[in-house]
A and B are shown apart, each in its own frame.
Chain A
Amino acid sequence: MKQICLILLTCFLFLACSSPKPLLPSEKLYIWDGYLQSSLALGTNPSKTQLASHLRVLLNIIAQSDKAHKRVAPGIYAGVGQLYYDLGEQEKGIKYFLLEKSTYPEAKVFIDNALKELYPTQFGSQDKQAKNAKEEILTNNTKEEKK
């Protein structure tokens, strides 16, 4: 009881001083459903399973945005691309990088460079291909774990 009173008092005092305002602008440009929470859950050293779960959140943001006929927020497509690459699914990854570029022409120079430097597909070194293959196995293992 004492605690409830204290909480009520606290709320009252807060309201008395400053009217709370939203943290994001009222004009809602983008859908970010679950982005922050999912990022928070990733922590510092995310496992493959955590990355896959973050990927699902980002894919859902894209689906929700499409459904609402809204532009997908900056960096979401690129984030999906990067996650697919990290999870060993290069072809899907590249598709999303290209979507970032076509949605936001500002990103063209950088995405082209990033693909060249970070994710060379046709001309990738053997080391990278080997690494990707290994990651694919890991991902498959993760999938099996879930089953």
Chain B
Amino acid sequence: MKKYLLVLVSFIFLACSAHEGPKHSISKAQLFPQMYAQKPKSILILPAVNSTKSAKAAREFSFTVTMPLASLGYYVFPVHLVDAYIKEKHLSHEGIMKLPALKQLKEQFNPDAIMFVDINQWDYSYSVVKTTTTVGVVYNMIDANTGAQLWANSGVYDHVPGAVIVGGPIALAIGLTVNTIVAATSALTQNAQQYMQMAYVLNSHAFYDLPRGPYSKLYMKDQNVLLSYRDKSQLVGDKIYVQPYFIVGSKIDSANKDSLCLSGVNSLGKCSGLQSYERYYREKVIAGNKYFFNAFFHYENGLPYLLSDNKKVFIKTQPNGKITYHVQIIKPNEKLPTSFIQTGFNVMPNTTQPRAKVLYYFDVLRVDNLVK
């Protein structure tokens, strides 16, 4: 019981401490320029690509995606009928991803926009300390006529008994950019149902900010709606510093309860090798274009950016498109270059010496000021 409470409080602490940065706002027009320019009315959601070990993921997911998107006012093609049709026509996922297939999809479905969904986590992990259920999804919407990216989002949803954490840029309107506790759920028991319910919550959050569609009264009237966010990153020169969980995930180090684990947690609840960044990181080729996703980035024309201090800070990617992060060690007597990005991480845990600190940053490609 005590352990539960400690873990819970740690989660709360993390969720609260994620709200440290200054508060800003961004309009929907600034966040979704392509959506307002192309004005898609109907959205074809293709059967999800399932890159998890769970064979059932795509089918279970399909029940959870229409409701939150259609509720915004878009026409969403009937997902199960689309699924049956695509199977009948032997349209493969690999085939659909290529550009000529777009023309074919346009002819056979006549959508304004096509949404690709990639399920990358549908897992259940068990350890002595805790069990975690995780659902991770990458969304990418393109213009059905041109193939240009209209919108993208991604998120990871961890369910541990007693707390639910959704990570990702996901929804500013709900006041979260990272690690917000959605609800304490205890009723989730059956596995398939748990996954589906989680997928539904994740989808609801992922679509929440989107401009309202043509069946809504707010259609083309919500451009100036402001979404507020708190800085989760800090621009210093040509570096943008990010909160540690951005890189390492939100695992709790059970041996050192007041801090995040620098890495994943192994079966004994101890930290193990750096793996979380990869866990949150995906790349994807759609219609000949390469897109990259980390659960915490926003995307515009396929380029990752972070919102910070009323700016869109675009991040440098490698020629192969990978986003590389850097680690900076701050010695005990050195001044931190950041004001609100703090790390409590000790580089050497078992020492009484003053602790060195670790900061994480990305290289900045360019900065777009958001005009008020």
Interface residues of A (CB under 8 A from B): 2, 6, 10-11, 13-14, 16-21, 23-25, 27-30, 32, 35-36, 39-44, 71, 73-75, 78-79, 81-82, 100, 104, 106-110, 113-114, 117-118
Contact = CB atoms under 8 A, between A and B. Distances in A.
B108 A24 contact: no
A contacts with B: majority SS: helix
The CB with the most chain B CB atoms within 10 A, among A2, A20, A25, A81, is that of A25
Given A2-B1, A17-B181, A113 B68 contact: no
A70 B76 CA distance: 17
B300 to A, nearest CB: 24
A78 B77 CA distance: 9
A77 B215 CA distance: 17
Given A21-B175, A23-B200, A73-B70, 7 more contacts: A6-B5, A14-B183, A27-B216, A36-B64, A44-B59, A78-B80, A82-B80
Contact of B67 (A2, A20, A35): A35
B75 A74 contact: yes
B70 A110 contact: no
A5 to B, nearest CB: 10
A40 B80 contact: no
A20 B216 contact: no
A25 B64 contact: no
A104 B88 CA distance: 23
A92 to B, nearest CB: 16
B212 to A, nearest CB: 7
Contacts of A17: 12, 15-16, 19, 180-181
Interface in B167-184: 173-176, 180-181, 183-184
Interface string B198-223: 00110011001000100111100000
13 contacts: A2-B1, A14-B181, A17-B16, A17-B19, A18-B175, A27-B216, A30-B71, A36-B63, A74-B74, A82-B81, A104-B42, A104-B75, A107-B42
